[in-house]
Structure 1
């Protein structure tokens, strides 16, 4: 059987593809800014807005306010999602009581209940963190629960044959086998936290990237709006890289396909 020759494209390193992708994005951006200048600010205007906001110190306050909300909301959700997911997977009475409500609330967009939480907790930090917490918790608890339920039963049976107790099976089989799903849940939870950030910040407050975008939109400062959107994307990529790094370190024992 003849082996298929690798194409020229497959020999290009990843950093070359990254530059090509970035170049295509900039070309599309320039085209959009030329055709719809009232909506898309050109790259120079966005860079100038970034430098202006950063040099005045205003930008760092917005970034820190948003980052603190995302990280606190995500951390609280992650800490509580793991035990709830394991309880749902191991104890049927708990699952039958809790799962219907999780599935019900999970299908409600955060923007639908953000006003209710704002009225209850105010426009301060607590209300915004609560909105982020709810959205990321629901995503993570379902993902971790599915991971625990899908643990290979052969591993559990083998452990029982070798005389392992229920406690040993839980800590030495179920938790290690569920680690990849926990990290996937963390990745989804961080992504959900960032997308929910906008919903939590547009209802009020004085700081945050979402609030900066809303204020700039009111004054039709499209360069600041686009800058804020790009910043959210950059933060999302940074979170993604961190979780992938942890995934490689903690699940290196797994056989994976390197892409």
Structure 2
């Protein structure tokens, strides 16, 4: 009786050397890469089209206060050269980042408590639903009374907008975890803590990232109003000062900076989402 020390050779079908089945994964990857390239071209095309329509409207319009694209570019160059645009941008970006990070962190914690524990839902959900119907800007007078007009007041308004935008998405993510996953984990002997860490949190990540993206938009949308609280610097303060002197080109520069920074941060969240939810099938 002889024994074979080397494994029996196997024939590997084409396209399966990387562990895929039937070459479908490489094909899917190629389609995804082609779709991403086409989206980049669509982004560039719509950007060029928008600038062209803006240029045409400013050329045909009779409003002397409407800035042309070249005037906005000149104002942007002046702000970069003199340094005031960088100062205002860094001040606003710092406020948004602090308020957004604090709001999202607390929202994820509260959403998990509400979704996983019945007691947490009973204690937190009425307050969350109540304050969701109250715009954060409506609380500015009360915030001024209690926190004054310093940095803490501005950050708190942004924090509240981010928190209320993200907490419900996290809560729904926990509530919508497929019961099949939970029951399968319990059958395999997993405890509640393990189920929460290994099943509930990963399954809730798509919802959490949706909430984070909405919270990011709410944070930037609240920024201008928050910076009206006697802020010495910030894009909102810059736009308010420009409005007093009818400097519409600077106002447009502020709008474009807020939009560009918000878009860039949203793209970064999308990249993080793809890395952390790569298991999810998407169209």
Q: Is the structural similarity TM-score above 0.5?
A: yes
Query: How far has the Cα of 1:14 moved from its partner?
Result: 3.0
CA 1:163–1:193 in structure 2 vs 1: closer, same or farther (change >3 Å)? Answer: same
Aligned to 2:95: 69
Instruction: Choose which of 172, 175, 178 in structure 1 pairs with 2:198.
Output: 172
Instruction: Determine if the alignment matches structure 1 residue 156 to structure 2 residue 182.
Output: yes
Query: How far has the Cα of 1:115 moved from its partner?
Result: 2.3
Give, in whole Å, the separation in 1 of the partners of 2:58 and 2:144.
36
Query: Between Structure 1 and Structure 2, how many residues are aligned?
Result: 247
Instruction: Determine if the alignment matches structure 1 residue 19 to structure 2 residue 44.
Output: yes
The higher radius of gyration belongs to 2
Instruction: Choose which of 125, 128, 152 in structure 2 pairs with 1:102.
Output: 128
Aligned 8 A contact 2:72 2:249 in 1: yes
Give, in whole Å, the separation in 2 of the partners of 1:245 and 1:116.
38
Stretches of structure 1 that go unaligned for 5 or more consecutive residues are 1-9
Give, in whole Å, the separation in 1 of the partners of 2:42 and 2:104.
34
TM-score, L = length of structure 2: 0.83
Give, in whole Å, the separation in 2 of the partners of 1:228 and 1:251.
34
Stretches of structure 2 that go unaligned for 5 or more consecutive residues are 1-34
More divergent stretch after superposition (121-130 vs 25-34): 25-34
Instruction: Choose which of 125, 131, 153 in structure 1 pairs with 2:157.
Output: 131
Aligned to 1:119: 145
Aligned 8 A contact 2:154 2:229 in 1: no
Instruction: Determine if the alignment matches structure 1 residue 142 to structure 2 residue 168.
Output: yes
More divergent stretch after superposition (198-207 vs 29-38): 29-38
Aligned 8 A contact 1:82 1:144 in 2: yes
Query: How far has the Cα of 1:32 moved from its partner?
Result: 2.8
CA 1:89–1:36 in structure 2 vs 1: closer, same or farther (change >3 Å)? Answer: farther
Aligned to 2:224: 198
CA 1:165–1:37 in structure 2 vs 1: closer, same or farther (change >3 Å)? Answer: same
Aligned to 1:5: none
Aligned to 1:6: none
Give, in whole Å, the separation in 2 of the partners of 1:80 and 1:111.
20
Give, in whole Å, the separation in 1 of the partners of 2:65 and 2:130.
37
Query: How far has the Cα of 1:39 moved from its partner?
Result: 4.6
Aligned to 2:262: 236
Instruction: Choose which of 86, 94, 104 in structure 2 pairs with 1:60.
Output: 86
Aligned 8 A contact 1:33 1:39 in 2: no
Give, in whole Å, the separation in 2 of the partners of 1:134 and 1:200.
11
Query: How far has the Cα of 1:210 moved from its partner?
Result: 0.5
TM-score, L = length of structure 1: 0.91
Query: How far has the Cα of 1:166 moved from its partner?
Result: 1.1
Give, in whole Å, the separation in 1 of the partners of 2:182 and 2:203.
10
Give, in whole Å, the separation in 1 of the partners of 2:239 and 2:118.
45
